[in-house]
Structure 1
């Protein structure tokens, strides 16, 4: 009998794709939803179990999410990778694309090292319902604090950006707007960019959002919402892809036996969800803030704490 039902694969696959890029923690939701539903869901979808087939499923979802990000930002990644290659070949950092490429490389190193060293420990020790719910509340508080710091710094109640908002009916983000944001990101001091990237380490704790942590760090370091969101999405692509690729053995090995069709369907939904999410959020943060997500995390995390404590 399969350890992962089709319904579980469909629900968690779609949830992962959306929650990975929304600043609400996909890992936190992957822990909390099965625990709230209980029964076979709590047994089949235990991310803290060391040999759970759920781990192979999560690998597939991460790879699909990263592929969706590459597809959405493919023009930007071609430009950034070209900048990195020309910088190495010519031994220079002479234009914004070259500098942005190196900033992304350097900003990814801290979370890469921390993930290799601590991911297993954090997952097996902290990926329990009550700690995860508490971290989700903390994530919400951090989002509200980051948003407050940004508003106080600008003296406004809403995000401000030098880039014009993208019309809601547009099918793609304006390329010139993207390039203008990238030029501003490329001007970040190295230390500031690395600090923003290192903030993603907080997401090793289930319930803390990777994109949310990076955005809050970016807002605290002078970026506006659109810039912070774009930098967090660009940072997320290599991190999520590496997390999936490094654990591809779980997917191809014994843990994936018997559930690969479910992994395929869940991954497809995760990729679609991620693509639609990044498309929506890129536009959303042109004019909107982190506040609704912070309130959601506090309410959802508090409700889960009450549920697990009282039930």
Structure 2
């Protein structure tokens, strides 16, 4: 694997993991537009590790409070807003864990076509635009309830469809239940932590079982570059949506989806 491939894949993964534009839609173009071989399972693990590190570092203060409050709750000290938020993250993660486990072969074998990805970009992009314009409220991630967590968790299952975007569909669902742009986005990013841990852990298990040779240098730089780009992405995304909202991403998704249809089918 050459350095250009490492840099491009790491930066693309870091930027698209948390933007509501679908990382799978962008990564599918790399082997099409280049003559690069598949990067391999070890490289995928490194990319996930970078994204995970970025979101943990960015939300380190919130995660510390959530962890301390949860332990205090388990010790009988009652439930405060940080412990409640931790609970909602767990609740919203359960549906995608169950469905993803049951339908893993279906998703990997039958739903990774360009047509599905393009349709996902367009349809769920328009849904994001509608939620942002018509349903957006003012509640933060600390104003959630059980119903909100379940709605967002069920919506996250749709992210198993390539092109949907995990961050895009969870932000859409959060906006639909009346959360603010910032609150919806922050909860979506927190929700990515257990999902990335589970997905990366599964890939790491497969990697260990395969006993293949690993390029540690490429993995190190992939982790670092994807982590730095993901951290910057989270920071600037939260700043941009305060002024511009979700519509620029909606427009981008629709145009990108149409371009994919034209490129592959016309």
Q: TM-score, normalised by structure 1?
A: 0.79
Alpha carbons 2:121, 2:253 under 8 Å: kept = yes
Distance 1:270 1:255, change over 3 A: farther
Q: Which residue pairs with 1:178 in the alignment?
A: none
Q: Which residue pairs with 2:142 in the alignment?
A: 186
**Which structure has the greater CA radius of gyration?**
1
Distance 1:91 1:125, change over 3 A: farther
- Report the more deviating stretch, 253-262 or 118-127: 253-262
CA distance in 2, matches of 1:27, 1:260: 24
Deviations 1:100-147 (A, max 9, x none): 111111111111222222234312322233322222222322222222
Alpha carbons 1:65, 1:271 under 8 Å: kept = yes
Q: Which residue pairs with 2:14 in the alignment?
A: 17
Equivalence map 1:115-194=2 (5 Å)? 115-150=100-135, 184-194=140-150
CA distance in 2, matches of 1:105, 1:292: 31
Alpha carbons 1:149, 1:219 under 8 Å: kept = no
Q: Which runs of 5+ in 1 are unaligned?
A: 46-52, 155-160, 162-180
CA distance in 2, matches of 1:250, 1:259: 16
- Report the more deviating stretch, 259-268 or 97-106: 259-268
Q: Which residue pairs with 1:309 in the alignment?
A: 265
Distance 1:130 1:283, change over 3 A: same
CA distance in 1, matches of 2:246, 2:142: 23
1:239 maps onto 2:195 in alignment:
yes
Deviation of 1:258 (Å): 4.6
Equivalence map 1:92-111=2 (5 Å)? 92-93=78-79, 95-111=80-96
Alpha carbons 2:174, 2:184 under 8 Å: kept = yes
Equivalence map 1:288-307=2 (5 Å)? 288-307=244-263
CA distance in 2, matches of 1:265, 1:7: 11
Q: Give the RMSD, CA atoms, in angstroms.
A: 2.1
1:203 maps onto 2:188 in alignment:
no
CA distance in 1, matches of 2:43, 2:85: 33
CA distance in 2, matches of 1:300, 1:229: 22
Equivalence map 1:40-79=2 (5 Å)? 40-41=35-36, 44-45=37-38, 54-79=40-65
Distance 1:248 1:14, change over 3 A: same
Q: Which residue pairs with 1:171 in the alignment?
A: none
Distance 1:125 1:140, change over 3 A: same
Alpha carbons 1:24, 1:139 under 8 Å: kept = no
Q: Which residue pairs with 1:165 in the alignment?
A: none
Task: Determine which of 1, 5, 27 is the counterpart of 1:8.
Answer: 5
CA distance in 2, matches of 1:128, 1:185: 35
Alpha carbons 2:42, 2:214 under 8 Å: kept = no
- Report the more deviating stretch, 107-116 or 69-78: 107-116
CA distance in 2, matches of 1:82, 1:120: 38
